[in-house]
Chains A and B, each alone.
Chain A
Amino acid sequence: DTAVSQTPKYLVTQMGNDKSIKCEQNLGHDTMYWYKQDSKKFLKIMFSYNNKELIINETVPNRFSPKSPDKAHLNLHINSLELGDSAVYFCASELTGNTEAFFGQGTRLTVV
């Protein structure tokens, strides 16, 4: 059973398109995150949600819109995709107060 699962694993799309990445966790955690890993492997937080409430929004362009329909899901919608959005996007979750984040396997987004 996968603890944190992301779909799709690979996504290739053209500039200007809108796409979504889905994340689900079955660990009973109440906090979820999106991290971005760029081509130089640098990892940086984008968003965090706690009990469906947005807590961290790390100066991400507003073309990126996270949505948390419930505590087990955190989706990432990206409008008007640009070449610079090409990266690996990681979803993570943790239980409040535990400080150990469990990461999904990543979604490699390629914008052409």
Chain B
Amino acid sequence: AQKVTQAQTEISVVEKEDVTLDCVYETRDTTYYLFWYKQPPSGELVFLIRRNSFDEQNEISGRYSWNFQKSTSSFNFTITASQVVDSAVYFCALSEAFYGGATNKLIFGTGTLLAVQP
């Protein structure tokens, strides 16, 4: 069965600390996509990154970086030099394709609440 586990329910850090959010997934598919979304206190879902199963290269975007390891079925997210504006709930998700990709079902983890204290 498809499943995404975010074991960290809440993390609290002080501004400028680095923080890593863990994500472990389960799937029987050989082709799949992994995502991270941010949900700030205002409530909208903000897309951060998509990674396909054939691309294990790590990615860096400013203070954000992602480490994808198929061997451990993990897709971890690191924020360097955290800021108060990073405070949000972060969701990891796995995409399951239906009908040859005509539609995709996002399977979300339970989210990690990150609180960055000034």
A and B pair up: yes
Q: Write the residues of chain A forming the contact surface with B, with a CB cutoff of 8 angstroms.
A: 31, 33, 35, 40-45, 48-50, 55-56, 58, 88, 90, 94, 96-97, 99-103, 105-106, 108
Using known A-B contacts A41-B110, A45-B105, A48-B105, determine if residue A99 contacts B43 with beta carbons closer than 8 Å: no
Question: Do residues B106 and A35 form an inter-chain contact, with CB atoms below 8 A?
Answer: yes
Contact A45 to B102, CB < 8 A, known contacts A90-B45, A99-B50, A103-B45: no
B55 proximal to A (CB < 8 A): no
Q: Which of A31, A43, A49, A55 contacts B108 (CB 8 A)?
A: A43
> In the bound complex, how far is the Cα of B10 from the Cα of A41, in angstroms?
13
Instruction: Tell which of A31, A42, A105 touches B102, judged by Cβ atoms closer than 8 Å.
Output: A31
Q: Is the CB of A42 within 8 A of B110?
A: yes
Q: Which residues of B contact A (CB under 8 A)?
A: 33, 37, 39, 43-45, 47, 50, 89, 91, 95, 97-99, 101-108, 110-111
Distance between A87 CB and nearest chain B CB, rounded to angstroms: 12
* Bound form: Cα–Cα A105–B50 in Å: 20
Interface SS, A side:
strand
State whether B108 touches A56 (Cβ < 8 A). Answer: no
CB pair A100–B50 under 8 Å, yes or no, is: yes
Taking a contact as CB atoms under 8 Å apart, the answer to whether A56 and B98 are in contact is: yes
The reply to whether B104 and A99 contact each other, CB–CB distance below 8 Å, is yes
A100 lies within 8 A of B47 (CB)? yes
Nearest B residue to A40, CB-CB = B110
* Residue numbers in A under 8 Å from B103 (CB-CB): 31, 33, 48-50, 55-56, 96
A94 / chain B contacts, CB cutoff of 8 Å: 104
CB-based contact B44/A103 at 8 Å: yes
Task: Output the least CB separation between A10 and chain B (Å).
Answer: 11
A44's nearest neighbour on chain B, judged by CB, is B108
